[in-house]
Structure 1
Amino acid sequence: MTKTTRRTFIAATAATLATPTLLRAELNTVQRNASGFMAQKWQDHFDTFDRVTILCDTNARALHYWNPENGDYRIYPTSVPQTDELTKRGLTKIVRKKHNPSWTPTASMRERDPSLPVHMEGGAVGNPLGTRAMYLDWPAYLIHGTHDTRKIGRRSSSGCIGLFNFMVEELFEITPVGTQVRVL
């Protein structure tokens, strides 16, 4: 038979009281991630559906793609901006696409991290834009790939939406310039 000490009693009580909080936190995480990978209706987010359409859901960390011509609908896991202050939300469009994009950190990125290079050529090891980039009509905001697969599903970017390279390559091929994009 074990003797119950005050220390054992306090530790057991703390663990018992913390359990519901931990379970609620885990449940919220699972619900957020699961809800992002449930089908969405374009009508809930766009007034017209006359061209390819993309919805970037920063809360669910998912990108939804629709093509009205062939009924194609796809969902991709993404990385999202590190903070709400770095997240631009609203309606935009893709204005340019680039294979192996070069990267020039913005002044605010270099201010936050002075060790960043001034410029990095496309295809260079460590280039955070990966193998493809689709530029939005908001300056310095992109949908792009990443070589760092640990970033997907996390708040890890300085404002962009990131995808696994093989997924952004697929999306790049089926997404024309002019695609309407909404970031939530």
Structure 2
Amino acid sequence: MRNRSTTVLTRRHFLGGSALAAGALAAPSVLAQTVEMEPDVSTTVQRNISSFRALDWQPYFADLDNGAILVDTTSRALHFWSHDRSVYKLYPTSVPLTEDLTRRGRTSVVRKVEGPDWRPTPAMKKRNPEWPDYVPPGPDNPLGTHALYLSWTYYRIHGTHDTRKIGRRSSNGCIGLYNEHIAELFGLAKVGTQVLLI
């Protein structure tokens, strides 16, 4: 129900904005007056968007050979740059639940799997003995539709069928994306793409 309400609100703003833009073309003074009457929302939304912003690759990577992925665990964002600088993507992510599950540093994509299966790590089974030993590909799989395996054992950038996890501390160490975002990133990243988690 919440999503439907949000969609309706967004459509109303879109339609209202389109009508406003059309009116502004005819009478620029209408636009100026309307903008002045809009409430100042910068203080309410700044906290939500201030960390989720486009970044330049150069402070983080010496080059873009094979492309580059930067995961910012603080802002819960994944940045991707293609090797020729023609593509830049910014995705919201889930990040590890706790600091002790969070790994930072440089790694790379060593394998790409569409329709991954999943086995909990020994540490996960110890914390959650009720979890199954194996989950095949499909809607119950916690890795979603695609996975980029990193050179660090057990660490992946993957999708999730549980969209509530995105934007939160909700993983056991991996970086999660919406399935449609990991599918796009899967097509852009290569085996050998450099990855930095900060």
Which 5+ residue runs of structure 2 have no aligned equivalent? 1-42
Alignment of 1:135-154 (within 5 A): 135-154=149-168
Q: CA deviation at 1:142?
A: 0.1
Partner of 1:167 in structure 2?
181
Answering whether residue 70 of structure 2 is matched by residue 55 of structure 1, we say: yes
1:109–1:29 Cα change, 3 Å? farther
Q: Which residue of 2 aligns with 1:76?
A: 91
Aligned sequence identity (%)? 52
CA contact (8 A) 1:36 1:57 kept: no
Return the offset for 1:70.
4.6
1:45 is displaced (CA, Å) by 1.0
Choose the corresponding residue for 1:131, options 145, 156, 161. Answer: 145
| Counterpart check, 1:42 vs 2:57 | yes
Give a deviation string over 1:38-74, Cα, whole Å, max 9, x none. 1111111112222310000000000000013152111
Offset, 1:85: 0.5
Match of 2:21 in 1: none
CA RMSD, Structure 1 to Structure 2 (Å): 1.7
TM-score where L is the length of structure 1: 0.80
Corresponding residue SS for 1:43: coil
Deviation at 1:28, TM superposition (A): 10
Distance change >3 Å, CA 72–CA 126, structure 1 → 2: same
Please say if residues 65 and 193 of structure 2, whose CA atoms lie closer than 8 Å, have aligned partners that are also in contact. Answer: no
Counterpart in the other structure of 1:17? none
Amino acid at match of 2:135: M
Unaligned runs of 5+ in 1: 1-26
Q: How many equivalent pairs are there?
A: 156
Give the TM-score, by structure 2 length: 0.75
CA distance in 1, matches of 2:44, 2:156: 28
